[in-house]
């Protein structure tokens, strides 16, 4: 399947697991197994006109189902509420093919996994994988209290539960105070993975940087941008490789807006360069990357561009649309 295709799924069990969190099981809607996924991957879930990203829990060799953990956001834009309030077992939904912008380093000898709140979900899939491969890891989960721990029952059911260390801010054990103890000094074979709210990921990144961790060994997934995205700039031309159509992108437009206006299908969700829904192949030209999804190496390779926010360094950018 191509990255832009949607997969039909049927909702299986819906299980509450923590304050404001439900685990939603997604099963194949037809005879074919679901596309495989890697630990750390997420899907776009289409519900009630919303498109939201949810990391896949569970084992990446389980082609029979996906499981996502959905936190009802108190100040959200409606996507998580739509899942909690309207989705029921037996419903048919659509998801994207899994994408992974937060993959495991296959060479690491020991992995330090650090989660803030519901940022736990991709790290659970990583822990599952590391355990299955017999590799060393520890998983730190930071949350307000035992009552707000997401996926507590799921964690307690895992054979690797003794690798989990919970930290509760209500008991004075917050990441801000604990970072130096949780983020070790770098050494060859050590990898650090952090997923959670911006305060936690920024603090972890600053701590790793102060300890002089190599950038390639620090893997971070954000819920929010570290700085507001600037989408404007000089005008340029986008060319659709499939048709040769040339389209002018004005200084105050995004590539996605122009593509949609010309009838090209673009999947958008966050529209601020943090989810990866809009990643589009680059055939020719050099993008001006403004996303926080792709890695430094991926930006240097220029194989894909986030069309919701990025622009072009070259007068013309030819895209695989
Ligand atoms: S829509 Fe989320 S990165 Fe572009």
pLDDT computed for residue 52 by the predictor: 86
270 lines ligand 1 (CB under 6 A): yes
How far is residue 25's CA from residue 89's CA, in Å, rounded to a whole number?
Answer: 9
Same domain, 123 and 199: yes
Same domain, 121 and 207: yes
Contact yes or no for 195/102 (Cβ under 8 A) = yes
Same domain, 265 and 306: yes
Provide the terminal-to-terminal Cα distance of the chain, rounded to the nearest Å: 16
267 lines ligand 1 (CB under 6 A): no
pLDDT computed for residue 51 by the predictor: 84
266 lines ligand 1 (CB under 6 A): no
Same domain, 245 and 199: no
How far is residue 222's CA from residue 200's CA, in Å, rounded to a whole number?
Answer: 9
DSSP state of 98: P
Same domain, 28 and 75: yes
Same domain, 141 and 215: yes
pLDDT computed for residue 222 by the predictor: 76
Residues of the chain with pLDDT under 50: none
Please report, to the nearest 10 degrees, the dihedral formed by the alpha carbons of residues 235, 236, 239, 240 taken in order.
-40
Same domain, 129 and 218: yes
pLDDT computed for residue 3 by the predictor: 57
Task: Report yes or no on 177 lying in a domain.
Answer: yes
The structure tokens 């189902």 sit at 65
Distance of CA 256 to the CA centre of its chain: 20
The structure tokens 């430094």 sit at 296
Give distance in angstroms: CA of 307 to centre of ligand 1.
7
* Domain at 91, CATH number: 2.40.30.10
Q: Compute the residue count for the chain.
A: 321
Task: Report yes or no on 298 lying in a domain.
Answer: yes
Give distance in angstroms: CA of 165 to centre of ligand 1.
33
The structure tokens 């822990």 sit at 127
Task: Report yes or no on 104 lying in a domain.
Answer: no
- How would you label 282-298 residue by residue, b for 16+ Cβ within 10 Å and e otherwise? beebebebbbbbbeeee
44 lines ligand 1 (CB under 6 A): no
271 lines ligand 1 (CB under 6 A): yes
Same domain, 119 and 90: no
Q: pLDDT of 187-200, one tens digit each?
A: 999 999 999 988 88
Same domain, 246 and 217: no
DSSP state of 284: E
Same domain, 214 and 119: yes
Task: Report yes or no on 227 lying in a domain.
Answer: no
- Asked which of 36, 61, 96 is the last residue of a domain, the reply is 96
- Asked which of 169, 194, 222 is the last residue of a domain, the reply is 222
Task: Report yes or no on 102 lying in a domain.
Answer: no
How far is residue 321's CA from residue 261's CA, in Å, rounded to a whole number?
Answer: 13
Task: Report yes or no on 1 lying in a domain.
Answer: no
pLDDT computed for residue 1 by the predictor: 61
Give distance in angstroms: CA of 133 to centre of ligand 1.
33
Domain span at residue 252 reads 236-319
Same domain, 297 and 193: no
How far is residue 281's CA from residue 306's CA, in Å, rounded to a whole number?
Answer: 9
For residue 277, give the H/E element and its range.
Answer: none
Task: Report yes or no on 229 lying in a domain.
Answer: no
Q: Structure tokens of 231? A: 């989408």
Provide the number of structural domains found in the chain. 3
- Asked which of 199, 222, 245 is the last residue of a domain, the reply is 222
Same domain, 243 and 209: no
Contact yes or no for 127/141 (Cβ under 8 A) = no
* Domain at 287, CATH number: 3.10.20.30
Q: Structure tokens of 256? A: 């996605």
* Burial of 127: CB neighbours in 10 Å, binned 0-12, 13-18, 19+: buried
Q: Structure tokens of 121? A: 């979900």
């Amino acid at each position: 399947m191509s990255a832009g295709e949607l997969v039909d799924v049927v909702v299986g069990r819906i299980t509450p697991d923590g304050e404001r969190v439900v685990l939603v099981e997604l099963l194949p809607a037809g005879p074919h197994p679901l596309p495989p996924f890697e630990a750390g991957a997420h899907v776009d879930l289409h519900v009630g006109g919303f498109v939201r990203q949810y990391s896949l829990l569970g084992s990446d060799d389980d082609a029979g189902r996906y499981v996502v953990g959905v936190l009802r956001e108190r100040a959200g834009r409606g996507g998580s509420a739509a899942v909690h309030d309207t989705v029921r077992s037996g419903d048919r939904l659509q998801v994207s093919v899994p994408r992974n912008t937060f993959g495991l380093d296959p060479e690491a000898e020991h992995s330090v996994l650090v989660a803030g709140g519901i940022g736990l979900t991709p790290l659970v899939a990583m822990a599952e994988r590391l355990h299955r491969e017999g590799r060393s890891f520890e998983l730190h989960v930071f949350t307000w209290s035992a009552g707000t721990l997401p996926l507590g029952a799921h964690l307690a059911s895992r054979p690797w539960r003794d690798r989990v260390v919970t930290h509760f801010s209500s008991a004075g054990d917050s990441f801000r105070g604990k970072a130096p103890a949780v983020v070790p000094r770098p050494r060859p074979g050590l990898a650090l993975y952090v997923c959670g709210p911006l305060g936690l990921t920024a603090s972890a990144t600053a701590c790793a940087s102060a300890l002089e961790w190599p950038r390639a060994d620090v893997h971070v997934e954000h819920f929010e941008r570290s700085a507001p995205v600037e989408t404007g700039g000089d005008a340029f031309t986008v060319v659709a490789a499939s048709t040769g159509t040339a389209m002018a992108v004005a200084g105050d437009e995004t590539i996605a807006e122009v593509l949609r206006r010309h009838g090209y299908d673009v999947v958008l969700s966050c529209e601020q360069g943090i989810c990866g829904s809009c990643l589009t192949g680059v055939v020719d030209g050099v993008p001006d990357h403004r996303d926080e999804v792709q890695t430094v190496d991926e930006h240097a390779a220029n194989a894909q561009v986030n069309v919701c926010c990025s622009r072009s360094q070259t007068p013309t950018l030819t895209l695989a649309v």
